[in-house]
Amino acid sequence: MNLVSVSTRYFVALAAAVLCIASAASTSAQVQTTTTTTSGIPTKEVKIESGEVVAVKGNDLFVKMSDGTLRHFPNVPESARVTVDGRELGIHDLMPGMKLVRATVTTTTPQVVTTVPSVTGKVWQVTPPLVVILTLEDGKNQEFKIPDGQKFMVDGTETDAFGLKKGMVVTATKIVEQPETVVTKEKIVAGTMPWDVPVLIVK
């Protein structure tokens, strides 16, 4: 079996989380989440396989591969097409002696999915430097863990968790970046007629 391969490189982004809290003018609370996807540079891997049709039985195809092995392709769908001498042929149009070449192109695209949930509420209780509890719009309290070394903006002034006081209206935003990999495959099959089979040309 012939195989042509283009080296593939994978780009992986590190996941990161940042919590920042700033003062807000409104006492109402909202929970909003935005999600964006950023794609990196895709890479491609091409695999070439070639062989000769030995037999077609119903929708089963038997091909002698270039390395001499006999390969069985069962239940080939009616929609499958092979380009032979410029014509689109189906499984029942194939015949012994036809030369087939299949190219499988695998495309790998690195992506980073960024999720940003934002919560606005009033400080109900703070236990520096560990947690802060906010009263949300629905009147319920929710606890948020504070990362080590986190700074907060209160009325334009930067402070740490020890600077938060009960009654302050703050907005908490957490940015989470999740790396993902999207893989797609495309198969292209082409072939040639046996030399001893006439080709009908319609003018």
pLDDT tens-digit profile of 17-27? Answer: 334 434 333 43
The pLDDT of residue 146 is 77
Gap between the Cα atoms of 22 and 132, Å rounded: 13
| Predicted local distance difference test score (pLDDT) of residue 195 | 57
Token digits of residue 116: 């940003």
The pLDDT of residue 164 is 87
Domain that holds residue 100: 43-108+186-192
- pLDDT given for residue 201 in this prediction: 35
pTM: 0.54
Q: What is residue 25's predicted lDDT score, i.e. its pLDDT? A: 38
Question: Are 170 and 123 found together in one domain?
Answer: yes
- Write the DSSP symbol of residue 25: S
Same domain, 52 and 24: no
Give the model's confidence band at 28: pLDDT under 50 very low, under 70 low, under 90 confident, else very high.
Answer: very low
Model confidence at 107: pLDDT above 90: yes
114 and 38 inside one domain: yes
User: How far is it, in rounded angstroms, from Cα 78 to Cα 74?
Assistant: 12
